Amino acid sequence: MQLVEYPLTMKDLLCVVYMAKNKDRYRAFMTHNLSMDARILLGECPAATLDILTPSLPVGIAYYILKTIFSPEEVCGCDILGIRTRPRAFGLLRSGASYDELVIRKAGQAVKLLKHIESLMGSGALLPRTGTYPVKYSVGCNPAMVVIPTAAELEETKEALRGRILFVEELSLILNTPFTWTSPKVSSAEAGSNLLNNLQLLALSGDIEILPALGFTAPGEVTCFRCGRKTKLKSSLARLKTGVEQIYHTRCPLCNYPSLYCEQCNSMGESRLCRGLFALGEKVNKPFKYGFPGALRVNGNLRRVGVPPLTPAQSQASKELIDFVHNGEGGNCLLWAVTGAGKTEVVLKAAAAVLEAGGRVLYAIPRRDVVQELAPRLKAALPGFEVSAIYGGSQEKFSRSPLIIATTHQVLRYYRQFDLVILDEVDAYPYRGNEMLHRAVKRAAKPGAHTICLTATPDAQTLAEARRGLIKLITIPARYHGHPVPEPEILRVNPFQTGPHGLEASIFLSDLLQRWSVGERAQVFIFAPTVKLVEKYGPVLKTAVAGWDEGMNTGVLTSHAGDPLRDSKREDFKNGICRIFVTTSIMERGITVKKANVLVLDADYEAVFDEGSLVQMAGRAGRSAEYPGGRVLFMGAHISTAMKKACAQIGFLNDIARRQGYLLNNNGGLR
């Protein structure tokens, strides 16, 4: 076999798969920089060679070949004597001969796989027309020219990557070093400082993992390693599907190979066949079963900084949560609390317990504004710990704080980092039904970590799992002020009628609104199922309330998902500038006003208003201690199952609270 000088120019992560033999051991790996791998694996012996099995390929294909034709032991390094060869007539084989035979066999397997991939991606794209594999690669006559990164550089790279899964460009941002791809023109000193070489060396020693951003996982199947989206290529049946395929063919303008990219997660940087992902998990701590040395201090801290003392219901839940995180086995826990129960305060103690024991905590929230709002609260509640708020465009995106508050999509960048993951609003968009985020959260947690899911409206499947004992269920059935959640009333009436000037509010509706907003001086949420209905009902209601109580502001605000002034209107309503807010279910969460009544129009519109949604909307009423009462009215042409279930759910939790004595009696004491 001839010796070849392999090109090092790589604009993107292109790797070759090779095998290396050193004395009586051999291993297989992939690399973008053969000279460095040769220097590390073969030492300085100029006669030693690597056996190259494939041409330079996008990392997504090289990784697939490596994982398919080699066992994990072969990738880490194993004995030549362990090579399994076919039984031969003469039995005994010399070890050297069997290695060469193995190289030829593996090269044949690699070429076969490549031919199959070529049949999917375009013939002639990957394999060269001339030349055969395997090819020998020699480190050359002066191996000392290859500069190996120093231990300090490697340690720095490792620390930056710890607990994360990142592109090399993102890693270079953390390290504050301008990133350059290796090129044959750069001097050896520059090449030595190249981040990609550091990462390759760390992967070679088994410290980190090199994964493709998107790669083949089975014959004809590609998977995005960041978001988990899978798709089959060119299967004749798959082409009939009109469903959601979010991985597309393209030609990579950087490496000029035919490529694929994933559109599901491309808002976080493009995931394509020739891009590498580098991952390093956090060290796994000992389970917290021996108690926490600082547990008492945690309680003191939380009280001192102004977290209100917990109610009996909250205390009980908090105690159960602390027991849950003390349990060394890990697992999931569902914290089912009524709306306005003060869930955040309850999980704080469990979070503090993990932080005190040296653990790391992730608090994932769907919405960016809630992340921004919660960060200062947690900073104040846990003064001893550094807290980082991570969202798209935040300055702290790559900080290493022990407590991270992040929007759910940012979780995609973490890798086995957290001992405790708290997921707020698990039943809400975007977490509900999103496989990508579920997978991301699982990946962000260390093996054996604890996950707490917070919700006011768990779905049927989660509740069934809790009943079967697969996840632990903790409930907070009462609000922090000790009053029951207002139970909805159901009315089968038509709130609008057609008058001489078109649609107008019925006398019943107009009386009701006048009684609520003028008589009781409450603010009123009016929910309608669709944007069109909000736009239709808004002006009608404006006409209906015109002229009421001149001194008071009884104006009507309308807003929906497509409204650019949505956030400012939300703030206006919160500040009491307007009495009536007509909106879609977009405002069902995260908005608290002191004295609110709730009216749900067309509540039987089941395509939009499911049980959870109705419970959330009903939960807007009676949230403050000053006005714990409140009225909730579901109006519809008929009574839907979701309406019945929502009423039953609220009543059920109120009953539990009553039975457990968490509700105040008439004298202001607990029952």
Partner 1 sequence: MSFLRFALDLLFPAAGSCLICGRDNVGNGVCRQCHDAVAKKPKLYYCPVCGRYYPFRAAVCKADLICAECVERPPAFFAARSVGPYGDQLKEAIYRYKYGGFRSLSFFLGELLADLFLNEPSFGDTNLLVPVPVSPAKVGIRGFNQSELLACRMASLLSLPVNNCLFRVRHTPSQSKLTGKVRKEILKGAFAMIERLGQVNVVLVDDILTTGATARECARVLLETGVKRVGVITLASGIQEKFDNYGEERRKKK
Instruction: State the residues that interact with partner 1 by CB under 8 A.
Output: 11, 237, 240-246, 248, 250, 252-254, 261, 263, 266-267, 270, 272
The H-or-E segment that residue 313 falls in is helix 312-326
Which is nearer to partner 1, 250 or 497 (by Cβ)?
250
Work out the burial of residue 568: count CB atoms within 10 Å of its CB; fewer than 13 is exposed, 13-18 middle, 19 or more buried: exposed
Nearer to partner 1, 258 or 340 (CB): 258
Rounded Cα distance between 259 and 244, Å, is 19
Closer residue to partner 1, CB minimum distance, 275 or 326: 275
Per DSSP, the residues of 110-129 read HHHHHHHHHHHH-TTSSS-S
Unique residue bearing structure tokens 């193995």:
102
Rounded to a whole number of angstroms, the minimum distance from the CB of residue 269 to partner 1 is 9
Q: Alpha-carbon Rg of the chain, whole angstroms?
A: 31
**Taking the alpha carbons of 51, 54, 57, 62 in that order, is the dihedral positive or negative?**
negative
Bridge partners, residue 79, by sequence:
25
Instruction: Provide, rounded to whole angstroms, the least separation between the CB of residue 118 and partner 1.
Output: 22
Closest CB to partner 1 among 192 and 269? Answer: 269
Distance CA 69, CA 570 (A): 58
CB of 212 to partner 1, least distance (A): 16
Using the minimum distance from each CB to partner 1, give the nearer residue, 277 or 647.
277
- CB nearer partner 1, residue 272 or residue 343: 272
Could you tell me where the DSSP H helices lie in 143-194?
A: 151-161, 168-175, 188-192
Nearer to partner 1, 387 or 587 (CB): 587
Minimum distance of partner 1 from residue 245's CB (angstroms): 7
CA distance 176 to 187: 21
Which residue bears the tokens 């190249």?
Answer: 194
Asked if 485 and 647 touch (Cβ cutoff 8 Å), the reply is no
User: CB–CB of 405/378 below 8 Å?
Assistant: yes
CA distance 342 to 309: 11
| DSSP, residue by residue, 452-495 | EEEESS--HHHHHHHHTTSSEEEEE-S-TTS-PPPPPEEE----
Shortest distance (Å) from residue 229 CB to partner 1: 12
- The minimum distance between CB 579 and partner 1, in angstroms, equals 31
Shortest distance, position 244 Cβ to partner 1, whole Å: 3
Q: Which is nearer to partner 1, 262 or 441 (CB)?
A: 262
CB nearer partner 1, residue 85 or residue 250? 250
H or E segment and range at residue 271 = strand 271-272
Edge-to-edge strand ranges of the sheet holding 580-583: 489-491, 632-635, 596-600, 523-527, 580-583, 556-559
- Least distance from C-beta 164 to partner 1, angstroms? 22
Residue number, 169 or 323, with CB nearest to partner 1:
169
Q: What are phi and psi of 650, to 5 degrees?
A: -65, -45
Tokens of 129: 């027309």
Report, in Å, the least distance between residue 254 CB and partner 1.
6
In the bound state with partner 1, the residue whose beta carbon lies nearer, of 248 and 652, is 248
* Nearest residue (CB) to partner 1, 207 versus 245: 245
Per-residue DSSP letters for 315-365? HHHHHHHHHHHHSTT-EEEEEEE-TTS-HHHHHHHHHHHHHHTT--EEEEE
Q: Closest distance between partner 1 and the C-beta of residue 589, in Å? A: 19
Alpha-carbon distances of 387 from 363, 374, 604, rounded to whole Å: 10, 10, 43
Helices 507-514, 531-545: crossing angle, 10 deg rounding: 70
Contact (CB, 8 A) for 386 and 328: no
Query: Least distance in Å: CB of 425 to partner 1?
Result: 19
Q: Which is nearer to partner 1, 148 or 268 (CB)?
A: 268
Give min distance, CB of 55 to partner 1, in A. 23
CB of 238 to partner 1, least distance (A): 8
